Chain A
């Protein structure tokens, strides 16, 4: 069982590229269809909590699946499986890049890649902004400008967001009494 947890998340960690959302179909296939550790509905229910919690979604998913199956040890084993592939690969890349920093081909390739990366971040930003109601769009743009212009740590923004949520909930529950 522990080995199955490790191996399942090792595969997920090794073969899923891009964002956590890109991994979800593979996680669902392994965890719901193949291993039958969860009913589909229960899986998606807990997944929504994994998405709103801090930290990478893939990691949070590994924790809840592992924990549900085998308690804290299961969670640790699943996380270990999910993290090991990217750890090994990035370590190799770090060693390579630190050695080849001066190489003119590597430098030229990265000169081409850097503006592309900015585009790869800017486009999803616009895409996520569009469906929001306009007060939320204004808030998002204000948050963006605040971070960019003042250079304050985003931690303060997160703390402010949590505080706003708590106050909002307090007002709501007051209103109901």
Chain B
């Protein structure tokens, strides 16, 4: 049963995952945190951090991690990863096959145009959803947030930022 739920959840994430990794986070949150309660918001935040420091797309990293955490074995992990890849695999083959007809299709163009602001909003929602009492414990959290935000604005490397934040965490807590 848990395997079926896992499969369906990550199939949905793969199918409706428009707008890139951060936009997909809202969908991942709604399935794994508020939907099934497989993870806490803090755990999802941890996966995003791990995802930044390891190769591969966030959605796939999440599938592998959640699959293992929920079932406690490799098969759960493989199943969730397979499920999240399945829509991309089938949809993209169709898109490539009908490529010439889709390229200047007015429907495709307008759908892309309308999805753009919505997926940007989804990224904002992802930040708000991860901003809770579990992630912001005290003023030290706020200070780390502020420093990283300013540094990221000036194009600091995200892997270095995470490593520095981890060091700050070990020193401060």
Contact = CB atoms under 8 A, between A and B. Distances in A.
A164 B21 contact: no
A112 B172 contact: yes
Contacts of B21: 19-20, 56
B157 to A, nearest CB: 9
A142 B117 CA distance: 10
Interface in B93-109: 93, 95-97, 99, 102-103, 106-109
Contacts of A27: none
B92 A90 contact: no
B56 A161 contact: no
A128 B124 CA distance: 10
Interface string A55-92: 11111100110011000100110010011011101110
Interface residues of A, number: 93
B93 A141 contact: no
The main secondary structure of chain A at its interface with chain B is: helix
A148 B169 contact: no
Interface residues of B, number: 106
B22 A121 contact: yes
B46 A86 contact: no
A160 B92 CA distance: 22
Contacts of B172: 108, 111-112
Given A86-B55, A129-B120, A143 B125 contact: yes
Contacts of B8: none
Contact of A161 (B42, B118, B168, B170): B118
A173 B13 CA distance: 32
B69 interface: yes
Interface in B61-120: 61, 64-65, 68-69, 72, 74, 77-78, 81, 84-85, 87-89, 91-93, 95-97, 99, 102-103, 106-118, 120
Contacts of A172: 106, 110
Interface in A96-146: 97-98, 105, 107-125, 128-129, 132, 136-137, 139-144, 146
A15 interface: yes
Nearest to A88: B64
Interface string B124-145: 1111111100111100011011
Contact of B34 (A16, A144, A151): A151
A153 B36 CA distance: 13
Contacts of B170: 105, 108-109, 112
Interface of B: 12, 14-18, 20-22, 24-27, 30, 34-35, 42, 45-46, 48-50, 52-61, 64-65, 68-69, 72, 74, 77-78, 81, 84-85, 87-89, 91-93, 95-97, 99, 102-103, 106-118, 120-131, 134-137, 141-142, 144-146, 148-149, 152-153, 158-159, 161-162, 164-170, 172-173
Interface of A: 13-21, 45-46, 49-50, 52-60, 63-64, 67-68, 72, 75-76, 79, 82-83, 85-87, 89-91, 93-95, 97-98, 105, 107-125, 128-129, 132, 136-137, 139-144, 146-148, 151, 153-155, 157-158, 160-162, 164-166, 168-169, 172-173
The 10 A-B residue pairs with the shortest CB-CB distance, nearest first, are A112-B169, A86-B56, A143-B121, A55-B88, A165-B111, A56-B57, A116-B165, A144-B124, A63-B92, A90-B64
